[in-house]
Amino acid sequence: MHGRVKVKSTAQQEEEKRKEREKKLKIYTAARDACFSKRKDGVCDEEALHLTQQLLSSNPDFATLWNYRREILMHQETVKDESEVQKMYQNELSFLESCLKVNPKSYGSWHHRSWVSERAPQMDWARELSLCDRCLSLDDRNFHCWDYRRIVVKKSAVPVGKELEFTDRLIGSNFSNYSSWHYRSTLLPLLHPQSPESAPPSGSSPPSPQTHSHRVCEEQLLKEYELVQNAFFTDPNDQSAWFYYRWLLGRAEREEMISCVFISRDEERVAVAFSRPVQAQSGGLLLVLDGQPLQVDWRSIHPRFKHSPVWICDLPPGSINNIANEHNLTVHWPEKHTRRDCALYTGRNESWCRDSATDQELFRSELSVEKSSVLQSELQSCNQLLELEPLNKWCLLTIILLMRALDPLGYEKETLAHFQTLKEVDSMRSAYYSDLCSKFMIENTILKMEYAEVRVFSVSNKNLTTLCHLDQLLLITHINLSSNQLRHISFHFSMLQCLKVLEAENNCIENLEGVYCLPKLEEVLLKNNNIATLAALRPLATCPKLRLLDLRGNPVTQSADAESHLAELLPSVACLLL
Amino acid sequence: MGSLNYIQGETGTQVKDVFISPDAPHTLLLDKHADYIAAYGSKKDDYEYTLSEYLRMSGIYWGLTVMDLMSQLPRMNRQEIVDFITACQHECGGVGASIGHDPHLLYTLSAVQILCLYDSVDALDVDKIVEYVKGLQQADGSFAGDKWGEIDTRFSFCAVATLSLLGKMDAIDVDKAVEFVLSCMNFDGGFGCRPGSESHAGQIYCCTGFLSLTGQLHQLNADLLGWWLCERQLPSGGLNGRPEKLPDVCYSWWVLASLRIIGKIHWIDKDKLRSFILACQDEETGGFADRPGDMVDPFHTLFGIAGLSLLGDEKIKAVNPVLCMPEDVLQKLGLKPELLS
Ligand SMILES: [Zn+2]
């Protein structure tokens, strides 16, 4: 079905082809029917082996015939002595080799080979490995062969270091080899694991290069930087090395922990933020108030989320409402052996306890400070490359990532300029760059806000196309998103549990799904957006304290009875600007 | 390969891509495609048709789904197909590709999908299918495709897709199944066939679809995976399935559907992709090929039409990105797989 070019032919050629196909069809169906009828009769003889061989060598995707063949081989095992069985499986391997020569990408042939390798009395694994070498030298991207190689390596206990050398060789002869870079990403963490003291404790998640991305020791990481740099200086447009480099620059996933506990007297409510989306409903969280375990119902911030980074519960009425009382709250997460305490002092209406993004260096490199000088020189090299290739998108993006790993705020201006160039030289992906740039601007704003120790988050006029990291904004009371290019306030926005004022003028917002059950929200300023229907405003009805709503310059205000409908929908709103 | 062309990149590096001729089709030829599919099954003694018998059940699913998306399903012979499917179910509960072919998860899913289009799942012994699927789950949570033990994340998808269409997801150990799929996640955020296997768009489609059906999409690194996926788009507008490969209509579907599932479909240039897909139509015979100028087949015809549907073509019914079936069919079943926004 793939790569068959359509060729024009004359009527006479067509007729000849038709006759030829008819002949082939007869031979094929005769052989197939003979196989099927033999199998039906339970015949497992040499002739059946011969018949299936004939069909499979030209049609290796005919899975049922491989199955029949396996039945025959298993039967023959019971009637032959060991040396004959060994001989039989050796023949099978030779037959498979010829199949793979003709069709190196057949699932059926490769699976049968690994099946045979399990059944044969003796396997010459060195031979299998050299078969893989040969096959990969013909096509170094054949993923069937790579997968079979991994089976062989495992079966014959080839040392990981040997396989890493193999990728050294392949990459050395051709940098543009995504499969080899991929293989490296799986081998390195095995060979050079991160030292145990700097590694986060292993959680319940299964190991994979993604979750364990930086379980590679720092020293090896620096060597890899050099290798990749060689690759992209040799061919700056080869994406393989750049993808690999981005992985090296990335961070391991944060361990699962409670990052913030917030308690409010007014709402008699507790909100808990986690480092990753979790499912807290199934009895996983324990809440202890003043030494007494409390039975509470945890709910995610929006019914849409079964897994959420923020969970809320209401405390029993009257348990904390007297402002003269001090309370001590602990949230336990037994499954992860972690907890967080939070004290609510006399005279205070709310309290929290949290990890800041700044303290955790959430948005920076994971390298130790002294090794960061290496990143600095990496950045210099990339800047040199950019001078030679000013429009190279891979180089531009990598420079942005290096700058962020080093000093996100210090490089903000240069980062923005590079994003601008990226959107021009790679316009097909401009929406991706816009979203990524938005993410970085939000991260920078979080850092600035934390330095200033305020609960006001202001990102106006930054060309934002998307919102993210909202779990970091659990405590903010004011958000200013004005003059951006936002089209939605997504479900995640309901994490802003302390929000009083939402300013989002001059965007192109069409829906407000995430302005949902925000208990403190009082003002929503949406002047000059794209809100066209009353339905789009419905989520606001779940915010009990909303009293000011500015909808001037939205299509919804055009309808004659908008005002009366809105008054009905949002009875708490005293000041409605249309 | 006639259509293959090497386009010079900005700085001289050769980018693998195809060249789209200015006289390639650029309007949607719906009637021709419907005629092509309707006629396809009628030449049953054709050599090529006979050779593809080992995947007949999937072939029927491709043809019927594309007909339904074009609102042409009534043109197909419903009774003949339903009887055929019944005849393909084995004692163990699994369904084979055709009569006389062994049961396999791939064809079990196709059979269930077809019967959902026809609202006649009862033509199969549903309890037995559930037992069959359940019996193929391994201790590590993975699924074998059949009793011969090939393990692949494609089969994890087939298992949960089959069970969710039958409303029987609780028959298997979902947590273990999820654990296995997540262990196949790679450095680039994508997925391969087994732990350690290279990322591949087809496999990524299966794994994101799997995580959608099991409600576990939050486990993905959507930003990283989305970047890898949107980098599949080539200057011709078509998408490839892995770095440094040629664009293809079927990969365009797998990448596009995955992007839709993780909420990043806007990261590619939709107009350019649409032009590429339209250029893969055959104006004479109807149908879509993998690339402009190649031979058409029902497989690429479905994924061409389904891709155009995801891109918002209003002449085609809305397709569900996870199950590759018309949304109205899933609505009737009450199925709404999770999508990231
Ligand atoms: Zn294809």
Nearest-by-CA chain A residue for B299 = A1
Q: Which residue, among A492, A457, A456, has the nearest Cα to A471 in the 3D structure?
A: A492
Same domain, A262 and A229: no
Residue A460 reports pLDDT greater than 90: yes
Q: Does A491 touch chain B (CB under 8 A)?
A: yes
Coil, helix or strand for A30?
A: helix
Number of DSSP helices (H) and strands (E) in chain B, helices first: 14, 4
CA of B106 to the centre of ligand 1 (A): 17
Burial of residue A508 (CB within 10 Å: 0-12, 13-18, 19+) is middle
- CA-to-CA distance for B134 and B94, rounded, in angstroms? 11
Which residue of chain B comes nearest to A465, CA vs CA? B266
Mean local confidence (pLDDT), A264-284 = 90
pLDDT, mean of residues A171-185: 92
Q: So what's the ipTM on this one?
A: 0.94
Residue B13, pLDDT above cutoff 50: no
Please enumerate, as own/partner, the contacts of A569-574 that have beta carbons within 8 Å and a separation of 24 or more. A569/A534, A569/A537, A569/A538, A569/A540, A569/A541, A570/A537, A570/A540, A570/A541, A570/A546, A572/A543, A572/A544, A572/A545, A572/A546, A572/A547, A573/A546, A573/A547, A573/A548, A573/A549, A574/A547, A574/A548
Interface check A80 vs B, CB under 8 A: no
* Structure-block tokens of residue B96: 């084979």
Question: Does residue A92 fall inside a structural domain?
Answer: yes
In the structure encoding, which two tokens stand for residue A333, read together? Answer: 């997460």
Between CA B182 and CA B244 the distance in angstroms is 25
Of residues A34 and B48, which shows the higher confidence score?
A34
- The answer to whether residue B164 sits within a structural domain is yes
| pLDDT 10s digits, A42-73 | 999 999 999 999 999 999 999 999 999 999 99
* Cβ-Cβ contacts under 8 Å for B334 (sequence gap 6 or more): none
Residue A203 has pLDDT above 50, yes or no: no
Dig out the tokens for B258 from the structure: 């995955």
- Cβ atoms within 10 Å of A449's Cβ, excluding its own: 22
Are A475 and A562 part of one and the same domain?
Answer: yes
pLDDT of residue A370: 66
Nearest CA in chain A to B45: A25
Residues A569 and A465 in one domain: yes
**Is A281's pLDDT higher than 70?**
yes
Please check whether residue A357 is in contact with residue A254, taking contact to mean a CB–CB distance below 8 angstroms.
no
Q: Which of B47, B102, B200 sits opposite A21 (nearest CB)?
A: B47
Do the domain assignments include residue A364?
no
How many residues does the structure list for chain B? 341
- The whole-model pTM stands at 0.94
Q: Does A47 touch chain B (CB under 8 A)?
A: no
Taking only residues 108 to 137 of chain A, the set having a beta carbon closer than 8 angstroms to any beta carbon of chain B reads 111, 115
Same domain, A419 and A482: no
**Is residue A8, in this structure, part of any structural domain at all?**
no
Q: What is the pLDDT of residue A218?
A: 82
Q: How far away, in angstroms, is A139 Cα from ligand 1 center?
A: 19
What whole-number distance in Å separates Cα of residue A534 and Cα of residue A567?
A: 11
Residue contact A62–B2, C-beta within 8 A: no
Task: List the single residue in B104, B180, B294 with the smallest CB-CB distance to A5.
Answer: B294
Question: Considering only CA atoms, which of A560, A563, A543 is closest in space to residue A551?
Answer: A563
Model confidence at A16, pLDDT cuts 50, 70, 90, reads confident
Q: Does A200 touch chain B (CB under 8 A)?
A: no
Measured in Å, residue A2 CA sits from the centre of ligand 1 at: 6
The 10s digit of each residue's pLDDT in B237-279 is: 999 999 999 999 999 999 999 999 999 999 999 999 999 999 9
A212-A215-A217 Cα angle (round to 5): 165
- The reported pLDDT for the residue numbered A217 is 84
**Based on the structure, what is the number of domains in chain B?**
1
pLDDT given for residue A210 in this prediction: 53
- How many beta-carbon pairs under 8 angstroms link A with B? 181
Residue of chain A whose Cα is closest to the Cα of B59: A1
Q: Is residue B329 part of a domain?
A: yes
Considering only alpha carbons, which residue of chain B is nearest residue A309?
B218
Residue B14 maps to a domain: no
Report residues near ion ligand 1: CB below 5 Å.
B 248, 250, 290
Which residues in chain B have their CB less than 8 angstroms from residue A150's CB? Answer: 194, 196-197
Same domain (yes/no): A316, A412: no
How many angstroms does the Cα of residue B205 sit away from the middle of ligand 1? 14
Residue B302 Cα, ligand 1 centroid: separation in angstroms? 11
> Residue A149: which H helix or E strand, with range?
helix A143-155
**Chain A residues in contact with B188 (beta carbon < 8 A):** 182, 243, 247
Q: Which residues in chain B have Cβ-Cβ distances shorter than 8 Å to A143?
A: 192-193, 197-198, 200
| CB nearest B290 (choices: A1, A24, A115) | A1
Domain CATH code at residue A65: 1.25.40
Residue contact A239–B149, C-beta within 8 A: no
Please determine, for residue A208, whether its predicted confidence score (pLDDT) is greater than 60: no
pLDDT of residue B15: 63
Yes or no: say if B94 and B129 are a contact pair by the CB < 8 Å rule: yes
A550 within domain boundaries: yes
Output the CA B1–ligand 1 centroid distance in Å. Answer: 15
What is the pLDDT, as a whole number, of residue B7? 30
Reported as a single tens digit per residue, the pLDDT across B34-56 is 999 999 978 777 888 999 999 99
Contact criterion met (CB below 8 Å) for B272 and A428:
yes
Q: How far is the CA of A53 from the centre of ligand 1 (A)?
A: 28
Tell whether the model's pLDDT for residue A568 goes beyond 90.
Answer: yes
| Residues A469 and A547 grouped into a single domain | yes
Kindly state whether residues A33 and A76 are assigned to the same domain.
yes
| B123 domain residue, yes or no | yes
User: Which residues span the domain enclosing B258?
Assistant: 25-333
Q: Which of B10, B40, B198, B268 to mutate to test the interface with A (most CBs of A within 10 A)?
A: B198
Q: Are residues A557 and A465 in the same domain?
A: yes
Residue A105's nearest CA partner among A143, A152, A67 is A143
Strand-strand pairing, B288-289 and B14-18: unpaired
Position A104, amino acid: P
Q: What's the pLDDT at A219? A: 84
Q: Are residues A334 and A306 in the same domain?
A: yes
**Chain A nearest CA to B200, separation (Å):** 9
Q: How confident is the model at residue B5 (pLDDT cuts 50, 70, 90)?
A: very low
Q: What is the mean pLDDT of chain A?
A: 92
Q: Inspect the interface and report whether the beta carbons of A5 and B295 lie closer than 8 Å.
A: yes
- Note whether residue A445 is domain-resident: no
Q: Say if B221 falls within a structural domain.
A: yes
Radius of gyration of chain A (CA): 32
How confident is the model at residue A14, as a pLDDT? 84
> Does residue B75 lie within any of the structural domains?
yes
Burial of A498 (0-12, 13-18, 19+ CB in 10 A): buried
The alpha carbon of residue B39 is apart from the nearest alpha carbon of chain A, in Å, by 18
- Taking contacts as CB-CB distances below 8 angstroms, the residues of chain B near A179 are 198
Please give the tally of structural domains in chain A: 5
What confidence score (pLDDT) does residue A192 get?
Answer: 85
- pLDDT at position B2: 29
Is the CB of B50 less than 8 angstroms away from the CB of A21?
no
State whether B293 and A436 contact (CB < 8 Å). no
A427 and A510 belong to one structural domain: no
Q: Has residue A378 been placed in a domain?
A: yes
CA B202 to chain centre: 8
Helix (H, G, I), strand (E, B) or coil at A174: coil
A459 and A573 in a single domain? The answer is yes
Q: Is A485 on the interface with B (CB under 8 A)?
A: no
Which one of A210, A238, A491 has the shortest CB-CB distance to B341?
Answer: A491
| pLDDT greater than 90 at residue A92 | yes
Judged against a pLDDT cut of 70, whether residue A206 lies above it is answered with: no
Contact at CB, A236 and B245, closer than 8 angstroms: no
Q: Does residue B338 form part of some domain? A: no
Of A123, A146, A168, the residue at which a domain comes to its end is: A123
Q: In angstroms, rounded to a whole number, what is the distance separating the alpha carbons of residues A282 and B278?
A: 49
The answer to whether position A91 is within a domain reads yes
Q: What range defines the domain where residue A407 resides? A: 369-435
Please answer yes or no on whether B189 and A210 come within 8 Å at the CB atom: yes
Q: What is the pLDDT of residue B219?
A: 94
Question: What CATH number does the domain containing B306 carry?
Answer: 1.50.10.20
Q: Are A267 and A519 in contact (CB under 8 A)?
A: yes
Is A451 near chain B, with CB under 8 Å?
no
In chain B, the residue whose alpha carbon lies closest to the alpha carbon of A60 is B54
Contact yes or no for B118/B60 (Cβ under 8 A): no
Report yes or no on A140 lying in a domain: no
More confident residue, B164 or A357: B164
A37 at interface of B, judged by CB pairs closer than 8 A: no
* A421, pLDDT greater than 70: yes
Please give the distance, rounded to the nearest whole angstrom, from the Cα atom of residue B251 to the centre of ligand 1: 6
Residue B7 lies in a domain: no
